[in-house]
Structure 1
């Protein structure tokens, strides 16, 4: 006999708990399964049965030895555990709409009209049609495009300061608005401008999903941005999107994909008319990241040299696209340090990252949090435990100010690297501060 529908539903208190919402946002199914077991009494064997998974697979996920990334598996989990689709970045699930709503028929008081008459009565009259058509006309001008571009610049600024999670609905809404405008017939310059804005909005949406570590959605929007850039033959922007996808591949521990994507990005940039040195420098640094993730020292050093050589050719008169303006000298320096850090060359990495942190803009909370944790990691690699913990403690306030699962990931990595030093006073003090500022990031009781 099938299980009654009500018994499948999770408690509202669990679905609205911040820890559950955050776990769903980043698709941390190990944490989700633990919460479902602890707060809903649904044990791993039951999770496996409901979600059409093997018990061993569920156990591996809970133990952190396996990730669940395939969309069909995620959909089975949403349906099996009755997790609303929006919590996992999915469309509304069929079971979310009640199926048993009925309305008692009312006794007719007069002879019902024919179906054709009912349809006609439900349609607007001719006068209303003309009024609505007039209201729907959208006469775009260059100033309208400038306003849309200005809003994108503001989105990026707010993304740096606070993270993209709360921005995403507005960005997606504006993207769909611009896509609708593109469906209307307009002269070529206006269409090109709209294509460029739509491509940038799609890339920004992909970036917010990437920052949330929701990689499938990120890749879908990056692909959409790539298609739009190709439609208007903007090879430089295609290179930009491919570079974003390459960076995501490094986070997914797919260095082969990262190198292939950044190589394609460089090919697009070189084929573009007037690719600027700043763009080429940014792409060379992404290549350095890919080589470093592969453990290729010579390739990393060669790409770093190319990035610095290209950056040395930049000038204030370069026609740089707006999306590469972020790649300034402090960014070049800190990325150089991170590339060395990925190779384990901490002695080279530490002074570079420290110098860049001193020069970075104070409003870039997420970037400064990333870079502070990278500095702490390199200091720890060099045996400077007290300095590393002091640096990481200072970064906690930055991490708390921004909603970014990527920042949280770096924080957890540093915390895990402290394992051999857990009883040292500096590590104990950092853990205490971490539990105070970001209590949801680590589990278990404090070390004695």
Structure 2
């Protein structure tokens, strides 16, 4: 029997799912088999092997053409899928005894018995328990800290180079951590694993969003929400909803953007201990949503609220790690971008320029995005030379990061230059563009 077919504990969230509880209570194995497939990844062929049933019989049950009523079959299903006996109206199964209690009991000495032949396809119960122990991952505080450190490193490298190349590693780690959640662990460790898995799912969604692969981004953002909901981390749920709101602004869906950020703020307000920094970040995302809709007064109110919350930040605040990026330069540049989205270029320009002077130079994507925003506000005011000079400076960080969002902002600026295409400064920018970013410039208008 392969590792994937060996009996394992079902995820706690499946065993506590009301639909699963009801299906087991009435012994509706059509629903049970479908649920273990969709929510635990145990496919019909695996069900057949674990429960010592034929694949055709399992297929008939799933199709609703056959019922399973014999007690010995129900017991095999309980044991093979590790469904606790009481859920199926059975006595407590032997494997339900916690391992700690089982090893605490002393065994009476026994005389060796003649070896008995067992089927080669199935290990005995003792070997099964030993194999389960051997594959169980031992987690401690150091292991969890290693996971968190790797996430911090992923985010840092994402800022510097973009996340597309990192995505396979991030997804692999996400699936590994989700797999660890299937084992029973102390609540503190289990909650930490949910927290880590949620952040990995959000990071994966972010890499797809940055690549403008919006459908895939939504899938992973939704998974992040589900994982955070398992531990009732409402601040983190607010963060994920805020990411989805930002994505909606890029998709030109202002109504969706506003609905998502409003939901994010509701989650944050209902959470215990939400910090001013989190509330400030959410207010700024609200400002983006209003600006995308062209609602000037609402945008200004949201900006004012973002600054009010930011002024309340204290060094002692227990900020979640995922919001520490929202520092004063980020507040200022986002304020400028919100004004820029409204067409208030004269207000936006000095704010974005000030933030750029204070930003980390290693954040290539941020510097590229913000420089193109600055160039656009300058061009909107008729400052052609200054705009092209700013955009020229943005090309270097843009060339260092693989980000379709950055490329999109570059295309927008390039299109804005259309009326000035023959001006010497515009020609110089285009020459530099083709030199540094030939794949991108090839997709632009010649």
Aligned twin of 1:76: none
- Residue 190 of structure 1 and its aligned partner are, at CA, apart by 1.1
Q: Which runs of 5+ in 1 are unaligned?
A: 1-118
In structure 2, the CA distance between the partners of 1:189 and 1:434, relative to structure 1 (3 Å rule), is same
Aligned twin of 2:263: 264
Q: Does 1:230 align with 2:229?
A: yes
- Residue 445 of structure 1 and its aligned partner are, at CA, apart by 9.8
In structure 2, the CA distance between the partners of 1:154 and 1:444, relative to structure 1 (3 Å rule), is closer
Q: Does 1:419 align with 2:441?
A: no
* Contact 1:432–1:446 (8 Å) recurs in 2: no
Q: Distance in 1 between matches of 2:207 and 2:190?
A: 26
Aligned twin of 1:208: 207
Q: Distance in 2 between matches of 1:191 and 1:299?
A: 42
* Contact 1:209–1:217 (8 Å) recurs in 2: yes
Q: Does 1:360 align with 2:363?
A: no
Note the 1:39-438 alignment, pairs <5 A: 120-121=119-120, 132-438=131-437
Q: Distance in 2 between matches of 1:138 and 1:157?
A: 28
- Residue 231 of structure 1 and its aligned partner are, at CA, apart by 1.1
* Contact 2:421–2:427 (8 Å) recurs in 1: yes
Q: Distance in 2 between matches of 1:340 and 1:446?
A: 28
TM-score (norm 2): 0.71
Aligned twin of 1:15: none
* Contact 1:431–1:446 (8 Å) recurs in 2: no
TM-score (norm 1): 0.71
Q: Distance in 1 between matches of 2:233 and 2:311?
A: 25
Deviation track 1:222-274 (CA, whole Å, cap 9, x = no partner) reads 00101111111111001000000000000000000000000000011011111
Instruction: From the CA coordinates, give the structure whose radius of gyration is larger.
Output: 2
Q: Distance in 2 between matches of 1:120 and 1:351?
A: 78
Q: Distance in 2 between matches of 1:134 and 1:187?
A: 16
In structure 2, the CA distance between the partners of 1:200 and 1:419, relative to structure 1 (3 Å rule), is same
- Residue 440 of structure 1 and its aligned partner are, at CA, apart by 1.5
- Residue 436 of structure 1 and its aligned partner are, at CA, apart by 1.0
Q: Distance in 1 between matches of 2:444 and 2:346?
A: 34
* Contact 1:278–1:311 (8 Å) recurs in 2: yes
In structure 2, the CA distance between the partners of 1:126 and 1:256, relative to structure 1 (3 Å rule), is closer
Aligned twin of 1:440: 439
In structure 2, the CA distance between the partners of 1:444 and 1:133, relative to structure 1 (3 Å rule), is closer
Q: Which runs of 5+ in 2 are unaligned?
A: 1-117
In structure 2, the CA distance between the partners of 1:200 and 1:446, relative to structure 1 (3 Å rule), is closer
CA RMSD, aligned part only?
A: 1.8
Q: Distance in 1 between matches of 2:419 and 2:134?
A: 68
How many pairs align? 329
* Contact 2:174–2:201 (8 Å) recurs in 1: yes
Q: Distance in 2 between matches of 1:444 and 1:292?
A: 29
- Residue 366 of structure 1 and its aligned partner are, at CA, apart by 0.3
